[in-house]
Amino acid sequence: MSDESLIRLCGSGDVEPDGVIAVEAPGLPTLAVFNLDGEFFVTDDLCTHGAASLADGFVEDGQIECPLHAGRFCIRTGAPTEAPCEEPLRTYEVVRSGDDVLIRRPPQP
Ligand code: FES
């Protein structure tokens, strides 16, 4: 693949259905890769409410529950869905290529 804006994060088999893993990518914060029924979504791994890794949380009904204070976010949109979370999670454009899960590198601010 020649598109340099694409970053491979993992293989599709690395994330169980309704599971999440944390992945490091160069130049980006730690990311959380979610598998919702074979559809993949990527957000920042760090909860917007505090110092918690969302990859240590629980996936339920398309939402991720933070392991620290049980706040929740919509995995598809990053929107907060349960207090105390108020700030949305950053989400990334996911690209599938065969068994690879990639994201498109976001434009620099
Ligand atoms: Fe995630 Fe508080 S750190 S809800």
Contacts of 10 (CB under 8 A, 6+ apart): 21, 23, 33, 100, 101
Residue 12 belongs to some domain of the structure: yes
Q: How far is CA 51 from the centre of its chain?
A: 16
Q: How many domains does the chain have?
A: 1
Burial class (CB in 10 A: 0-12, 13-18, 19+), 64: buried
Mean pLDDT, the chain, as a whole number? Answer: 95
Confidence bin at 2 (pLDDT 50/70/90): low
CA of 2 to the centre of ligand 1 (A): 38
Range of the domain at 73: 6-104
Enumerate residues lining ligand 1, CB below 6 A.
47, 49-50, 52, 66, 68-69, 71, 84-85
The answer to whether residue 1 is domain-embedded is: no
Which segments of 27-105 does DSSP mark as H helices, in order? none
CATH number, residue 48: 2.102.10.10
Percentage of the chain with pLDDT > 90?
Answer: 93
109 lies in some domain: no
Distance CA 106, CA 104 (A): 6
Residue 107 has pLDDT above 70, yes or no: yes
In a domain, 48, yes or no: yes
Give Cβ neighbours of residue 24 (< 8 Å, ≥ 6 apart): 30, 31
